[in-house]
Amino acid sequence: MKIKKSMVMISLAFVIITSWLPSSYAEDSIDQFIKIYLSYLENHKITSKQCLKLGELCIDESDEELCKTAVSLCFESGLKKEALSIAQEAVKSNPKSSQLWFILGKMLLLQNRVNDSINSFKKSLKLNPKKKDAYSILIRVLLFKSENQEAYKWLKQMEKYFPNSEEVFLLKGKLYYALGKYKQAIKYLKRALSSHQSNKEALQLLADIYFKKGEYQEASKLLEDLVSQGVISEKILKQLIDSYIRSAQYKKAIHILERLYQMHKSAQIANVLAVLYLKTNTKDKLEVLCSKHPKLSGCIAFRCLDNKEFPVIGISYSEFIEAGQILLELEAYTCALKMYQLALTQRPKNANVYATIAVIHSDLDQLDSALKNIDIAITLDPKNADYYFRKGVILERHNKVKESIKWLEKAIELRPDSATYLNYLGYLLIVREIDVDRGTELVQKALKISPDNPSYLDSLAWGYFKKCLYNKALEIQEKALQKNPDNAVILFHYAEILFKLGRKQEALKYYRKCKQLLAEEKDLSPWEKEEIVKRLKELGL
């Protein structure tokens, strides 16, 4: 059987090779080529001498296909310099061959001579403007170099010859992705997928966009498609796990992490598992895991929540901080406070820890302790605008509005370009009707910095509402609602505007949706939540 198989291979090689060679080829040239080709089939590589001989044959006869094969065999044999040399000589002997310029471009690119490769691809396309693979590589290289304008120019030319092709849609998606225009990128990537649903490049890029947009459920579906096709890399696996966690698909994340932990008993995987077991209240598995890794931040958090002793000696500052962050996510404020206080024993002059402790005391309705700790943070780092801002927020949440404004003004004085600070103070001045005009101006400044932020759009709409400019308010609020349709405050403000415009039945729909989401709204000040609840009761909701 082996003999027959080798004979078939020799015959096949001979047929393939002779079909490439013109009738003018001498018999000895054919023999030499076949001999080298068979050597490659037998050894999976050729020698440098054989490579150079192939180069001589292809250049002497100016045969594109022979040169292409010579370059390919040399490169596959690890003879990269020789492969490049053959490609360069082939172009010199036949400078009007689009195919040879394309081959040279690929060889240059593989040796990281990016600019030279770009020039070669351009020459290839000048000679043959319908060479699709040259467009594909050239545009990708230009996008990699962030030369988006140049990439756009070549993409427009490619589209002339290949309209509505899958590759054009894919490259358009890549271009808009590079420009940060995700809406357009999604449109074209979906069109690419409509032609070929298993286009791995389009799936991966689309998943990446959804992940960046915070649409983790959508991202996880696309990443699952990739994994089912056998496309598994560290980046894809990490992004899939992150997507599951961020979209609260904890069981799916646990399933993957448990398998990874069986293969690699790493502390990092164990810690993520510990946190997920905490979130899903899987105590039996958590006990087993923490018996093996007692010093993990997730296990320290678990012991504190379970009112059990946890190790203190040998635990680093960063591990206490991580445990505190885990507990804050779980809204376990008392245990979180313990973790940050333990962190302070190791770094007693860390202003940021004091500031975090201040916020925890504020959430526990302990205003005096909150102010004491934020003042320490300000003393330790008096030029940090964020601490003045946090003090302003703490005071505002405890209904100390006049004092709050003073500290928010100080934060803006230190950082006048902070959209967050500008919007926070602006909204406060609007919603409390202290200075609606100035509040609106501050929000407009915030929107110049971050024009698509739905919270800032909501603040501006509410400013117009307070000025009785209801139609203008509606126009802005519709944009805010489109960008964030599940925010209780945005829904409430939208309903109020509709109500004022006489669209009461329509308004009721949004009041009801607001009521459903209000309990989950964590960033809302207590006094504002009370006002919304009061208004809903007035409406009989």
Q: pLDDT tens digits, residue range 212-229?
A: 988 999 999 999 999 998
pLDDT of residue 11: 39
State pLDDT tens for residues 297-330: 999 999 998 888 877 888 899 999 999 999 999 9
Residue 504 belongs to a domain = no
On the question of pLDDT at 30 being above 60, the answer is no
In terms of Cα–Cα distance, which of 416, 37, 121 is closest to 425? 416
pLDDT bin (cut points 50, 70, 90) of residue 122 is: very high
What proportion of the chain, given as a percentage, has pLDDT over 90?
Answer: 69
Which residue type is seen at 481? L
Q: Are 348 and 373 in contact (CB under 8 A)?
A: no
Write phi, then psi, for 121 (nearest 5 degrees): -65, -40
Residue 447: inside a domain, yes or no?
Answer: no
Q: Would the pLDDT of 522 be above 90?
A: no
Residue 35: band (very low, low, confident or very high) from pLDDT cuts 50, 70, 90: low
Report residue 474: phi and psi, to 5°. -65, -45
Q: d(Cα 536, Cα 475) in Å, to the nearest integer?
A: 23
For 70, the token pair is 């010579």
Report if residue 83 sits inside a domain.
yes
What does the pLDDT look like over 374-430, one tens digit per residue? 999 999 999 999 999 999 999 999 999 999 999 999 999 999 999 999 999 999 999
Q: CA nearest 291: which of 279, 277, 280?
A: 277
How many CA atoms are closer than 13 Å to the CA of 36, on its beta-carbon side? 25
Nearest-CA neighbor of 40 among 84, 76, 12?
76
Task: Quickly count helices (H) and strands (E) in the chain.
Answer: 31, 0
pLDDT digits (tens, 9 = 90+) for 428-445: 999 999 999 999 999 999
Tokens at 514, concatenated: 């607001």
Tell me the mean pLDDT in the region 169-188: 94
Cα–Cα dist 350/486, whole Å: 37
Q: Which domain does 5 fall in, by range? A: 1-111
Confidence of residue 3 (pLDDT cuts 50, 70, 90): very low
User: How large is the greatest C-alpha to C-alpha distance in the chain, in angstroms?
Assistant: 100
How much is the pLDDT for 125?
96
Residues 6+ apart with CB under 8 A from 465: 473, 493, 496, 497, 500
Which region among 28-32, 181-185, 417-421 has the lowest average model confidence (pLDDT)? 28-32
61 against 111, higher pLDDT:
111
pLDDT at residue number 371: 98
What does the CA dihedral 113, 118, 123, 126 come to, rounded to 10 degrees? Answer: 170
The model's pLDDT over 216-264, given as tens digits with 9 standing for 90+, comes to: 999 999 999 999 988 888 889 999 999 999 999 999 999 999 999 998 8
pLDDT band at 198 (very low <50, low <70, confident <90, very high): confident
Amino acid identity for residue 478 in this structure: E
Share in percent of the chain as helix, strand, coil (round to 5):
75, 0, 25
| pLDDT of 24 above 50 | no
Residue 22 located in a structural domain:
yes
Long-range contacts of the stretch 130-133 (C-beta < 8 A, 24+): 130/161, 131/98, 131/99, 131/102, 132/158, 132/161, 132/162, 132/165, 132/167, 133/102
Q: How many Å apart are CA 243 and CA 156, to the nearest integer? A: 35
94 domain-assigned: yes
Query: For the stretch 194-211, what's the b/e string if a residue is b when 16 or more beta carbons lie within 10 angstroms of its beta carbon?
Result: eeeeebebbbbbbbbbbb
Q: What is the DSSP string of 43-93?
A: HSS--HHHHHHHHHHHHHHT-HHHHHHHHHHHHHTT-HHHHHHHHHHHHHH
**Percent of residues, the chain, with pLDDT higher than 70:** 91
Q: Is residue 5 part of a domain?
A: yes
Instruction: Determine the 3-state secondary structure of 116 from DSSP.
Output: helix
Closest CA to 455 of 430, 479, 429, 474: 479
C-alpha to C-alpha distance for 271 and 487, rounded to whole angstroms: 32
Write down the pLDDT at residue 213.
Answer: 87
- CATH code of 85's domain: 1.25.40
Tell me if residue 424 falls in helix, strand or coil: helix
Average pLDDT over every residue of 90-99: 90
- Read off the pLDDT of each residue in 522-533 and give the average, rounded to a whole number: 86
Q: Is residue 93 part of a domain?
A: yes
- What's the predicted TM-score (pTM) here? 0.73
pLDDT-derived band at 147, boundaries 50, 70, 90 = very high
CA-CA distances (angstroms) from residue 458 to 144, 361, 408?
Answer: 37, 29, 20
Q: Packing angle between helix 64-76 and helix 2-20, nearest 10 degrees?
A: 140
The alpha helices in 330-469, defined as continuous H runs, are 333-346, 351-363, 367-380, 385-397, 401-414, 419-431, 436-449, 454-466
What value does the mean pLDDT take over residues 51-72? 77
Q: Identify whether 4 is part of a domain.
A: yes
Please state the domain count of the chain: 1
